[in-house]
Amino acid sequence: MPHNRRNQVALVIGHQQRLDPATIENQNFESTLCCVPNGCLTPDVALNPQDRTGVSKVLCNNEQCPFSGYMHRQCFDNWEESVLTYLKSCGRARSWSEKQRHQNLWTKKGYDLAFKACGCRCGRGHLKKDLDWVNAAKTGDEDNTKRRKKHNKSNKPVLTLTIQTPAIGCNGRSRANSLGSTGSSPPSSGSESPHSPQHYQAVRKRSNPKNEFFAERLRHNSGGNGIFARRADFSSFNILPKHKINSYHIKMEDEGSQGNDDTRCFLLSSLASARMCRTFCVICGDSLVVYDRYPIIDGTFFIGPRQHSRACVQVRYDNRVQYLSAVCMGCLEGWTVRLRCRCCAKPWDGSQLILGTMYTFDIFAATPCCTERLKCNECECLVIAPDQRLNFFSDYSHMVSCPFCTALENHFVKALSFYQRVEPPA
């Protein structure tokens, strides 16, 4: 190492570690520097790669990168949060939940979208978490915790419980307490068909027995729960293409602690207040059963400022009056009814939306297909330029002011009459 360069490194590392010059001369200093790109939070704390409890390892795709590849755990967590924030605004990751973004960030699926926010300090590469670098200390703590739980479980006294089977009516349904606030609505049967008899009549021919991924996956305690049905199985999703039969395209479980998911609670409480155990697709009008657990419907819910049909439920969300609407799986995939813009003839595609959950914006306004959808609802002048795009899908559902007539309105949220209904070929 050149003499000047050695002196500079010695000064930096000597300040960080408070080491004497003799110690500095005999160590590899670059391996002890925190390589976090956005500034080290604890420059006075020395990095020890052998102590894995407080250190995270990253990899730079620049083979000539001179930095250490190690970060303080606190620095890494702070940097990772900034990358996750960037990922929220990237392509298909906008529709991912927080849990999905955390799971996908350092896999190919998420990193291909977020790598631009992972630039290394060397200026010629991008950082990525080293997934093969196992935190041995954490693994050991987890093993100890499991052993303690197993030991405590074995010491617990065994209780013998007598469970009384609930009465079964003549229609085969078990009686249950009402989940809704009214307390008088009868429970729905978990064995009911999720669609009307004529729904997907042509589509079910597409179902491939080899793709029946959910055929053997059953719900325990599949009786009705309150006014909402309990799914007996997930076989209604077997008509989907094989690559969509997974938890990324179908909302399968709560994200909150102990199942306290805000979205599911909001949906069920809103529908229970309206005494609706079923809803209707705003495109084709077919009836959809509402279930008490994810996936909540065989389609998806969304809320927006416009009431697209009489079946939409008025709710209050973010201190605004909005309308809760639903679209069935057949219309999202384009099997039942296809929508085509009357102005540019471009079809609307909902096949990328996650099934069984709720979006907090109008899904028809999220991706404007032509300039007609960017015009003011009052004076019909362009609210934004055709080449201008807003940052988030939800921005198109917000109220904006027209630059010409100053009308404050949800200009980008148009009526469904802007679309032409096209029946798919038989």
Least confident of 57-61, 156-160, 312-316, 358-362: 156-160
Residue among 281, 287, 302, 321 nearest 364 (CA): 302
Burial grade of 355 (CB within 10 A; 0-12, 13-18, 19 or more): buried
- Cα→Cα distances 220→109, 292, 375, Å: 33, 13, 51
Residues 154-206: pLDDT tens digits? 554 443 333 333 333 333 333 333 333 333 333 333 333 344 434 454 444 44
The domain limits of the chain are 33-136, 247-422
pLDDT tens figures, 219-251? 444 333 478 999 988 899 999 999 999 988 999
Coil, helix or strand at residue 339:
strand
β-pair partners for 233: 218
pLDDT at 159: 35
Judged against a pLDDT cut of 90, whether residue 341 lies above it is answered with: yes
Mean pLDDT, rounded, of the chain: 76
Whether this model's pTM surpasses 0.75: no
Phi/psi zone of residue 47: left (φ > 0), alpha (ψ -120 to 50 degrees), beta? Answer: beta
